[in-house]
């Protein structure tokens, strides 16, 4: 055990040091690959996983299984509430049962990387990279884990992984390879932090609903609740992660357009100068309410994309939106009849369209709509 540890540790920058804190370093098979440059991991990832694990490693499973969990809990608590951790732990155990054939100790290895990975995969889709990075640094700050990841290794590790992650649906990153149940624990830890799930790869039977159960709600408020302790843990040295602002609307509607819409009503006569601005602000808040609620509905339905139906559902959920019922009813019908892409298409294209939509509005500014300000 210890003999292996000492001989092993110098070779492997990340895992070996991780193990050295735990009871025993694994077999020698892993280190050579791990100790090499990080970019090489991508190549390594194509190797069959069994290659990375020797029977020797496996035989030590029991020690790993019981022991490394000890360092893990406090760290988990730091970031989530205790109940979160407990739940995560439960989930992990469930995973273990499902994946008994796989070396269990590896799941224990999972947390730091899994979470890091979860965030990275998010960032690959959604540009919240700094967040994931800071999350990662939390680990390195943690005394237990700082030894696992020598600073010099951190950045390469992060970046090389992130570079690979976007298309990782099929291509399994090295981390997932040696993390026994790979994407599943990852997803859990990810979900527990309150973020919606978007895992690229085929995630199996695992349903986010399971995760919703122990949490009061899986929406923003929950996320916000989950954040503070984590940030507190990050504290001093960490740069504050870019957080989602509650009301981040900076774009203003063209007041001339608003005025024109107002005055399209024949009854409406003169309009004071700031009136369209006031209406524009009200409109902004109206949109925030509708959009946020629609997003909540989408989240409940485990969808990445708000469909017209979801918006309709929101409108019909509150009598405050009564005046919109006719509109949502009408559009729903025309959409289905005329087949204007339809909501089903919207759902199926969720992934591919994501990036386009973001980019389009900038380019597509309609000259006709914009150029004339009255």
Write out the binding residues for another protein, residues 279-298 only, by CB under 8 A: 279-288, 290-292, 294-295, 298
The minimum distance between CB 21 and another protein, in angstroms, equals: 33
130: nearest Cα among 230, 247, 226, 239: 239
Coil vs helix vs strand at 179: coil
Instruction: Tell me if 225 contacts another protein by CB under 8 A.
Output: no
Instruction: Tell me if 324 contacts another protein by CB under 8 A.
Output: yes
Q: What x-and-dash track marks residues 227-256 binding another protein by CB under 8 A?
A: -----------------x---xxxxxxx--
Closer Cβ to another protein, 270 or 337, answer by number: 270
Residues composing the chain: 374
- CA atoms within a 13 Å half-sphere pointing along the CA-CB vector of 322: 2
Closer Cβ to another protein, 90 or 334, answer by number: 334
CA angle 82, 115, 33 (to 5 degrees): 135
DSSP 236: T
Instruction: Tell me if 341 contacts another protein by CB under 8 A.
Output: yes
The position carrying tokens 């946020």 is 292
Buried b (16+ CB within 10 A) or exposed e, 157-195: bbebbbebbeebeeebbbbbbbbbbbbbbbbbbbbbbbb
Closer Cβ to another protein, 21 or 350, answer by number: 350
Instruction: Tell me if 370 contacts another protein by CB under 8 A.
Output: yes
CA dist list (Å): 164 to 154, 211, 295: 16, 27, 29
H/E run at residue 334: helix 325-338
Instruction: Tell me if 337 contacts another protein by CB under 8 A.
Output: no
DSSP state string for 65-76? HHSTTTTHHHHH
Name the one range near another protein by CB under 8 A: 60-68, 88-96, 165-173, 349-357: 349-357
DSSP 171: S
The minimum distance between CB 194 and another protein, in angstroms, equals: 11
Site for another protein in 44-63 (CB under 8 A): none
Site for another protein in 60-119 (CB under 8 A): none
The minimum distance between CB 50 and another protein, in angstroms, equals: 34
How far apart are the C-alpha atoms of 278 and 266, rounded to whole Å? Answer: 20
Instruction: Tell me if 333 contacts another protein by CB under 8 A.
Output: no
Name the one range near another protein by CB under 8 A: 78-86, 210-218, 225-233, 320-328: 320-328
End-to-end CA distance of the chain: 80
Closer Cβ to another protein, 82 or 285, answer by number: 285
The minimum distance between CB 212 and another protein, in angstroms, equals: 16
Site for another protein in 119-138 (CB under 8 A): 122, 125-128, 131
Question: Which residue of 205, 236, 237, 368 would you call a contact of another protein, by CB under 8 A?
Answer: 368
Size of the site for another protein (CB under 8 A): 93
Q: Extract the tokens encoding 154.
A: 């951190």
* Residues 261, 262, 266, 268, Cα dihedral to 10°: -170
Q: What x-and-dash track marks residues 181-220 binding another protein by CB under 8 A?
A: --------------xxxx----------------------
């Amino acid at each position: 055990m210890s003999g292996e540890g000492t001989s092993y540790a110098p070779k492997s920058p990340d895992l070996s040091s991780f193990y050295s804190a735990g009871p025993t370093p694994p077999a020698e098979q892993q280190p050579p690959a791990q100790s090499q440059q990080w970019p090489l991991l991508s190549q390594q990832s194509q190797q069959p996983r069994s290659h990375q694990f020797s029977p020797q490693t496996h035989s030590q499973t029991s020690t790993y299984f019981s022991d490394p969990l000890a360092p893990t809990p406090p760290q988990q608590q730091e970031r989530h509430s205790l109940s979160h951790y407990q739940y995560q732990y439960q989930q992990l155990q469930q995973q273990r049962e499902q994946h008994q054939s796989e070396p269990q100790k590896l799941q224990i290895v999972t947390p730091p990387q899994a979470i890091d990975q979860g965030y990275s995969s998010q960032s690959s889709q959604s540009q919240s990279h700094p967040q994931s990075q800071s999350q990662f640094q939390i680990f390195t700050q943690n005394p237990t884990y700082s030894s696992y990841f020598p600073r010099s290794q951190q950045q390469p590790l992060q970046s090389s992984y992130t570079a690979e992650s976007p298309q990782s649906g099929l291509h399994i990153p090295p981390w997932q390879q040696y993390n026994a149940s790979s994407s599943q624990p990852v997803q859990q830890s990810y979900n527990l932090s309150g973020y919606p799930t978007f895992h690229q790869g085929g995630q199996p039977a695992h349903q986010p609903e399971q995760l919703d159960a122990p949490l009061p709600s899986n929406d923003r408020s929950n996320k916000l609740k989950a954040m503070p302790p984590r940030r507190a843990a990050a504290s001093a040295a960490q740069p504050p992660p870019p957080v989602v602002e509650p009301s981040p609307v900076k774009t203003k509607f063209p007041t001339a357009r608003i005025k024109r819409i107002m005055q399209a009503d024949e009854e409406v006569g003169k309009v004071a100068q700031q009136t369209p601005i006031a209406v524009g602000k009200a409109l902004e808040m109206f949109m925030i309410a509708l959009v946020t609620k629609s997003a909540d509905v989408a989240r409940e339905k485990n969808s990445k994309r708000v469909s017209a139906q979801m918006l309709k559902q929101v409108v019909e959920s509150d009598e405050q939106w009564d005046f919109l019922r006719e509109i949502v009813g009408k559009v729903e019908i025309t959409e289905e009849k005329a087949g204007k892409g339809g909501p089903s298409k919207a759902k199926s294209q969720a992934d591919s369209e994501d990036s386009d939509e973001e980019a389009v509005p900038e380019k597509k500014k309609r000259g006709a709509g914009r150029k004339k300000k009255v």
